[in-house]
Amino acid sequence: MVAKKSELSYSLVLKIRFERGFNVRRGVVLFALILYLLAVIALIGSWANDRQKTVAALIKAWKAFDTILPQLLGVLVLIGVLLAYLDAPTIGRILGKDSGWWGVLVAAVVGSVTLIPGFVAFPTAAMLLKNGAGLTQIAAFISTLMMVGVATMPVEIKYFGKKVAVYRNLTAFVFSFVVAWVIGMVVR
Amino acid sequence: MKDLLKRFRFFLVMLMILIGVMLVDHPKEIKALGIMASSLKEMLLVIPPVFILLGLLDVWVPKETMVRHMGEGSGLKGVVLAVLLGSAAAGPLYGAFPVAGVFLKKGVSLSNILIFLGAWSTTKIPMFLFEWTSLGGRFALTRLVVDIPGIIIIAWLICKLVPEAEQARVYQKAEKL
């Protein structure tokens, strides 16, 4: 019964997204297009001013990419395995079933380990709410989803070292409970 | 060869887990591969322009300029700039880390970089509009109002928690990236 409900909610998410004209792929592609446009304009401007500097910039870009490549590849596989087990219906089941602070804690943990683009996360959250998930839980889920990234920690550590990365994720995790609590109080 | 193994250690461990999943739970394996393919597509789409822009930023913007506007002692202006730069961005959080890496190199203060990361992760303007339409204005506004002081407090807290020697090491490491 519960499983059926969340499956239904998932199909509703898709339906609503199409009705409103929001499309995940379109969002990603549009964002990428803007980035490419900026990069091309910047490159042309740079090339016109100083060819040597432009070549140096491209070499630096490649080196920066090469440094982070192993971490990116690892994160890619990690996300694949994680999300294969934590798909939207599963998350819905977890959030819908539990209540109280235990549910909030579960929601925060699920948000920390998953990686869903906002284009998908917000409509999903809206549907979960309609299907009986608590507002406080949804707020905790959304907050950790955006601020805490367990799967992307290897990339973060590469740039910031273990201490800063761990502290950032930990404080953001704790802070998400504050956000959840305030939203639970203010939003009806 | 040994260096290569060390560099790709994390990736290799993940690959072994993936193979393990394949052995015990074949349907999930297929699903995992599908998710990996779509994530890879998204990464490949976004990565080239981001790194090209970063390379250009690295070459063209002098360190002194960045230090003056966002370094230690840049005060409120640095904080506001960090929030605005982070909020104007779009895309996943892992896209923010390379940007933060160049900021480290250019002498932006750690607290401003952390504020930038916080803003990127949670107060992005395009996402805010999307949140508003999905979950309602009250939800989105409340989160924004709590988040802005929150990310500033988090940045301040981390700077207090992490010893200065470790902070110096982070800056040294950034030089090599």
Task: Kindly state whether residues B79 and B10 are assigned to the same domain.
Answer: no
Distance from CA of A4 to the nearest CA of B (A): 20
Q: List the structure tokens of A33.
A: 């297009």
Q: For chain A, what is the mean pLDDT?
A: 80
Task: Give the dihedral sign, CA A24/A104/A7/A86.
Answer: positive
Q: Are residues B145 and B93 in the same domain?
A: yes
Residue B53 is assigned to a structural domain of this protein: no
Helical (H) or strand (E) element with A126? helix A118-130
Q: Of the given ranges (A11-15, A65-69, A142-146, B169-173), which has the lowest mean pLDDT?
A: A11-15
Query: Which is higher by pLDDT, A188 or A64?
Result: A64
Same domain, B95 and B166: yes
Whose structure tokens read 């990428």? A32
Name the percent of chain A lying above pLDDT 90: 38
Question: Smallest Cβ distance to B139: which of A22, A31, A187?
Answer: A187
| pLDDT single digits (tens) B104-127 | 999 999 999 999 999 998 888 777
> B38 lies in a domain?
yes
pLDDT digits (tens, 9 = 90+) for A36-54: 999 999 999 999 999 999 9
Does residue B9 form part of some domain? Answer: yes
pLDDT number for residue B167: 94
Phi and psi for B74 in degrees, rounded to 5? -80, -10
Is residue B11 over pLDDT 50? yes
Smallest CA–CA distance, residue B153 to chain A, in Å, is 10
**Chain A nearest CA to B172, separation (Å):** 10
Mark which residues 47-86 of A lie under 8 Å from B by CB. Answer: 53-54, 56-62, 64-65, 67-68, 70-81, 83-85
Q: With an 8 Å Cβ cutoff, is A89 touching chain B?
A: no
Is the same domain home to B23 and B80? no
User: Do B69 and B41 belong to one domain?
Assistant: no
- Rounded to an integer, what distance in angstroms lies between the CA atom of residue A97 and that of residue B14? 31
Instruction: Quick: pLDDT tens for B132-168.
Output: 888 888 999 999 999 999 999 999 999 999 999 999 9
- For residue range B52-88, list pLDDT tens digits in order: 998 998 899 888 898 999 999 888 999 999 999 888 7
Closest to A64 in 3D by CA, of B116, B65, B52: B52
Give which of B143, B172, B173 to mutate to test A binding, by max A Cβ within 10 Å.
B143
Q: Do B157 and B129 share a structural domain? A: yes
User: Could you say which of B47, B167, B170 has the minimum Cβ distance to residue A65?
Assistant: B47
ipTM value > 0.95: no
Please report whether residue B165 resides in a domain: yes
* First and final C-alpha spacing in chain A: 27
Are B69 and B134 in a shared domain? Answer: yes
B94: which DSSP letter?
Answer: G
CA angle in degrees (0–180, nearest 5) for A147-A96-A128: 65
**B98 vs A68: CB contact, 8 Å cut-off?**
yes
Please tell me the distance from the alpha carbon of residue A19 to that of residue A14, in angstroms, as a whole number. 9
pLDDT score for A96: 62
Contacts of B24 (CB under 8 A, 6+ apart): none
B71/B149 same-domain check: yes
pLDDT at B47: 84
Give A20's pLDDT tier (boundaries 50, 70, 90). Answer: very low
Number of domains in chain B: 2
Whether the pLDDT of residue A176 is over 80: the answer is yes
Could you tell me which chain B residue has the CA closest to the CA of A40? Answer: B49
B103 in the same domain as B169: yes
The pLDDT > 70 percentage for chain A reads 78
Residue B95, min C-alpha distance to chain A (Å) = 10
Asked whether the beta carbons of A34 and A160 are under 8 A apart, the reply is no
Same domain, B44 and B98: no
Domain extent for B36: 1-48
pLDDT digits (tens, 9 = 90+) for B18-55: 888 888 888 888 888 888 888 888 788 878 888 899 89
Structure tokens at B32: 């995992």
Q: Nearest C-alpha of chain A: how many angstroms from B15? A: 7
Q: Are residues B31 and B91 in the same domain?
A: no
Best residue in A37, A81, A83, A167 for a mutation probing chain B (most B CBs within 10 Å)? A81
Does A42 contact B53 at a Cβ distance shorter than 8 Å?
A: yes
Considering the domain boundaries, does residue B76 fall inside one?
Answer: yes
In a domain, B54, yes or no: no
My answer on whether B81 and B114 are in the same domain is yes
Contact flag B177-A172 (C-beta cutoff 8 Å): no
Q: Is B94–A149 a contact, with Cβ atoms under 8 angstroms apart?
A: yes
User: Which range has highest mean pLDDT (A29-33, A47-51, A87-91)?
Assistant: A47-51
